Structure 1
Amino acid sequence: MSEHFLPGPPPVALTLRRSARARRISLRISQLDGRVTLTLPNGAREAEALSFAREKESWIRDHLAARGADLQVGPGALLPIEGRDRQLVPATGRRVVLGPERIEVPGPAVAARLQGWLRQLARDRLTAAADHYAALLGKGYSRITLRDTRSRWGSCSSQGALMFSWRLILAPPEVLRYVAAHEVAHLAEMNHSAAFWAQVARIYGPYEAPRHWLRQHGADLHRIRFDG
């Protein structure tokens, strides 16, 4: 893969990747992070791909504008924690303090410090939820891991290993609990059959509202950037 830019206000980063299966140059914009990817057949020249991107520049910029801007985490930023907006405030103490309207984070690396704190809070909340739903289901799981996944909010392996996106801590608590129940239900049904959804309903209750929330707002959680 290689990185290039479309010049302009602002410049647009382009990722060029080659694929043996590609028959022509194709263009994709991720709705999660706004990444613009050009896929090239092995025999195509990079100059051809960049020319193709320039021809599609208006389309690219229109789609990026419709997607909305990323939120860079830093002092003064307003970001959701357990579904409630809090303002990030630099602190002089030694620990992160979460209040009803603000979150105080010691520096100097405020964004990195907050991300680590959120991951730990997510682990605590997801472990408690998974334990609760596994007990209701009558089945145990082998372990829990947290990742920053783009394509799914959670998974359950055939060995009973649960994986969750730590960004669920940014969603309302009922959404986090729904995802935990969803993955725990796979311990009994490794599919999405009617029997599976019956297990979700049995251990969680009505799940339509949190499922809909993820479909409508889940991508927004990936626009919160901690890499500044």
Structure 2
Amino acid sequence: MAETLTIGAPPITVELRRNARAKRMTLRVSAVDGVVRLSLPKRGSLKAAKRFLVEQEAWLHGHIGKRPKRVAIAEGLTISLYGESFLLRTHSKSRVTLAPDTLFLPDTRPAGQALEGFIKTRAKSVITKLADTDSTTLGISFSKISLRDPRSRWGSCNTDANLMFSWRLMLAPPEVLRYVVAHEVAHLREMNHSSAFWAEVAGLMPDYEAPRRWLKSNGGQLHRFDFKNT
């Protein structure tokens, strides 16, 4: 059970994370679930933590208020998938069916569950093709690709050459997904964020800066869609 503190009116519950390497307190509001987390030194006192939180109360309320509202996956919603907009409708068939400008979801399953499965299938195909192209360009290879729904990252590359991507990137503009794939494939060559690494990314995608900025500014918006409770 995470250690917590509650401050303010209306009340704000803050999760406390003790970090042996932390030299000062750091406050963050998750763009995904709105959870407020305070990282503090291992021996930091609760009294000092609460005083710090009280000082930051106005800032906290401002950031919590900016959190994107959750959007339920339901009939009538228009959603963008890899740059194409689709209106969601339901039908009596057992499969998701794609038509021009419309996605038909089976009415026998939760809409979010059905759409998530459809997105994952398309994401695996799109991402695999992009990763194949980039790895061939670099003259290297990857072991496998997996799709997940992480809260704090969009992709990863490990020392076994396994690549992981968030399937929610399909909800972003195509160039954003393209950038994340280039980023992770470049890690197969450079497992760091050195100038040599960024040179590899630029070699794969010369105009990567714009989608990188988009992801930093708007990435949290991709998590506003609620696939689990619909």
TM-score bracket, normalised by the shorter chain, equals: 0.7 to 0.9
C-alpha contact 1:5 1:14 (8 A) present in aligned 2 = yes
Aligned mates of 2:183, 2:175 — CA distance in 1: 12
* Residues 93 and 15 of structure 1: CA distance in aligned 2, closer, same or farther (over 3 Å): farther
Residue in structure 2 matched with residue 214 of structure 1 by the alignment: 215
- Asked if structure 2 preserves the Cα contact closer than 8 Å seen for 1:81 and 1:170, the reply is yes
1:90 aligns with 2:73: no
Q: Please give the per-residue CA displacement for 1:70-98, whole angstroms capped at 9, x wherever unaligned.
A: 21212222222113332221122222123
Give the number of equivalent residue pairs: 223
Matches within 5 A, 1:104-123: 104-107=104-107, 108-123=109-124
CA distance in 2, matches of 1:125, 1:113: 19
Kindly indicate whether the alpha-carbon contact (under 8 Å) linking 2:5 and 2:16 is maintained by their aligned counterparts in 1. Answer: no
Provide the rounded CA distance (Å) in 2 between the counterparts of 1:165 and 1:176: 9
Query: Structure 1 residues 12, 141: closer, same or farther in 2, change over 3 A?
Result: farther
What's the counterpart of residue 139 of structure 1? 140
2:66 aligns to what? 66
* Consecutive unaligned residues in structure 1, runs of 5 or more: none
TM-score, reference length from structure 1: 0.79
Whole-angstrom CA distance in 2 between matches of 1:53 and 1:196:
38
The equivalent residue for 2:206 is 205
Q: After the TM superposition, which residues 1-228 of structure 1 pair with which residues of structure 2 at under 5 Å, given as runs?
A: 1=1, 14=13, 16=15, 19=18, 28-37=28-37, 60-107=60-107, 108-228=109-229
Unaligned runs of 5+ in 2: none
SS at match of 1:222: helix
Match of 1:104, SS state, is strand
Q: Distance in 2 between matches of 1:214 and 1:140?
A: 26
Compare 135-144 and 203-212 and name the one that shifted more.
203-212
Deviation, structure 1 residue 63? 2.5
Query: CA shift at 1:101, angstroms?
Result: 2.7
SS in 1 for 2:66: helix
Q: TM-score, normalised by structure 2?
A: 0.78
Which range moved further: 163-172 or 67-76?
A: 67-76
Q: Structure 2 vs 1, CA of residues 202 and 54 (structure 1 numbering), >3 Å: closer, same or farther? A: closer
